[in-house]
Amino acid sequence: MKRLVVFTVILLAAALGAWVFATRSPASPFDNDAPPAAPLPPEPGEYVARLADCVACHSVEDGAPFAGGLAMGTPMGTIFTTNITPDRETGIGGYTLAQFDNAVRRGVAADGRRLYPAMPYPSYAKMSDADVRALYDYFAHHVQPVRQANRPGTIPWPLNLRWPLAFWNLAFAPSGVFVPDPARDAAWNRGAYLVQGPGHCGSCHTPRGLGMQELALDERGGRFLSGATLDGWYAPGLRGDPNTGLGRWSEAEIVTFLRTGRNRHGVVFGSMMEAFNNSTQFMTDDDLQGIARYLKSLPGDAARDGTPWQEDAATTQLLAEGQVQGVPGARLYLVQCAPCHGPDGRGRGEWISSLAGASSLLAPDGVSAINLTLNGSGRVVAGGIPDAYRMPALRAHLNDREIAEVVSFVRGAWGNRAAPVSAAEVRTLRERTNPASSEVIILKMR
């Protein structure tokens, strides 16, 4: 009996300790800061908000900026982004700087509630104190408050319990701001900070483990930015892989892509289109150069990427001669795709994407090619001017088998050596994606 009592006491003490740990508010370097005497100018905080692309996730098309409501799919159910305007009832108007810091860099709301890591606080943890302070000032003083209640998610009990996330954070979320590498120059370190921290590029481009954690958070892990499938899209690798990464891109071409949304290798689409429309095109030249410098320093993996792509003219000759009988997808390509992308798959310069050697087609997962064919691409808006060219949605014109055939054809044409896709894969995406999912969201931030 004494042993049972002792065991029960130890168990209760452990449970109490775990509960206190899971529900406590973490320490913030701003805990003892007094409110500033006057607001900062809006520009520094607005720029940090652009770097972090806050508007893309916390806004919906035709909605008020930062008022939340965007649906985000997870394996457990749907969650909806929250209102982060300074409304005191439904937003974050009552947050102190320390509470804001804990939400952004540690995933803990002002009431102690743990945030789902769909909020990229594992990346934001690396943001500097100065950037967090400027971001807080921007939201507190320069964003229009909006009274809009947050939508509850659809994750069922007990999976929707938040306190276990404290232990997820303990296992997977880093602590501490970005520390520059003294062996690297200023441009590399600035790019590393932006990619790893506010830019949270790994949230989409790094594969995840069984705990839905990013398998690496910086260049010390070979899986960092090596490509991943997320929410109906394949985010290609950003390392030096020649097929599925940036191995064939120069630093200047990376800068052009981030500045204009396009280059000779491709045009932004999917989630990257939203990141371009609302974030990267607003970055300074020095910051874009830093990002390019950092990304080009990340080595590829030949074992992962395979033999580098080389163009094969056999497909071009086959299509030019009209010898498409018995080649699944070839006739559909001539009718539906060749008028824009050409029989050589080269597109129209930087305006219509090349399909020959495109990383989205060489990817191990064909989900992006299927999604683009089904739902089309959104509108790229550079410098306030909408793009005149876009991939149309073909879901109403082609059935699952036809889409599978034409996607498989381009994944195996002009030297592309990617696996075919099935009608079942197309059917799954047809059911799970919204025909308007590629529509563009462009939002002014104030």
Annotated binding site for heme c: which residue ranges? 54, 57-58, 201, 204-205, 337, 340-341
Inter-axis angle of helices 367-375 and 400-411, nearest 10: 130
Distance CA 303, CA 320 (A): 35
| Residue set of the binding site | 54, 57-58, 201, 204-205, 337, 340-341
Beta bridge partners of 108: 114
Contact 79, 72 (CB under 8 A): yes
Structure tokens at 350: 């930087």
Q: Is 196 helix (H, G, I), strand (E, B) or coil?
A: helix
**Tokens 């014109």 found at:** 397
Strand ranges, E, within 31-112: 71-74, 77-80
Gap between the Cα atoms of 228 and 237, Å rounded: 8
Q: CA–CA separation, 126 vs 159, rounded Å?
A: 28
- Tokens found for residue 226: 């090596």
**CB neighbours of residue 9 within 10 Å:** 10
Structure letter (DSSP) for residue 279: T
Torsion angle, alpha carbons of 373, 237, 241, 307, to 10: -40
Closest C-alpha among 122, 121, 287 to residue 191: 287
The token pair that represents 272 in the structure block = 């990257």
Identity of the amino acid at 241: D
